[in-house]
Amino acid sequence: MADSKTIERGFCRLCGRALLPPEGFGGLKDGSGVCAACLRKLRPMYPLAISWDKKGNEVRQDPIRELDTVQAAESLKNAAAFIEELRAKYDHHNAVFAVESVTVEKGGFMKPSTYYAVGRVIYGCFEPEDRITLLHGGGKAETALTCVRKRASYGAGSPMDQGLGGQPCALEFTGKGLACEPGDLIVRD
């Protein structure tokens, strides 16, 4: 008999893979599970939205949870073509992040400023130490990511492994006099 602590969370409704507890998985409208790999493919088409209620509790709006199995399977078939269209729209960068707000911790004489760009990954993946390019007002500046953080009500929250397409998050980087404002894009090539 299977050990219910290590397996038996059912199987992915879309690809048939077993759903294992350590990986993140979500449900569709009818409650059936979807594995992390399928979620990752669907997420850029159905971005996750995070907001906060008056008490400061996180409110997640996940459009994938509104899909039925037929809609999700259909979307999964179109996921690769969807990303190709996005890549064409954004000059074929490997990953693109849309900046919604920026917080800057001013540096000192020998210390560069720290920037927290809060927004959403449109597609692709951002990880700590990635070389990134800030696109601002027709100009560009290069730097490296120091951290990818969760999005919190006050801006940037705790660190996470990576920011994936369709996910809200915050990108942390340092530099002197970098220009980064809401509406800008941060890209990885």
Q: Which residues bind Zn ion (CB under 5 A)?
A: 12, 14-15, 17, 35, 38
Shortest distance, position 127 Cβ to Zn ion, whole Å: 22
User: Looking at beta carbons only, is 35 or 117 nearer to Zn ion?
Assistant: 35
CA-only gyration radius of the chain, Å: 18
User: Looking at beta carbons only, is 9 or 17 nearer to Zn ion?
Assistant: 17
Shortest distance, position 25 Cβ to Zn ion, whole Å: 8
Taking alpha carbons only, the member of 157, 151, 155 closest to residue 59 is 151
Contact 33, 15 (CB under 8 A): no
Taking alpha carbons only, the member of 179, 92, 189, 182 closest to residue 136 is 179
3-state SS class at 170? strand
Shortest distance, position 35 Cβ to Zn ion, whole Å: 3
User: Looking at beta carbons only, is 19 or 171 nearer to Zn ion?
Assistant: 19
- Locate 189 and state its tokens: 């090539």
User: Looking at beta carbons only, is 35 or 135 nearer to Zn ion?
Assistant: 35
Shortest distance, position 165 Cβ to Zn ion, whole Å: 16
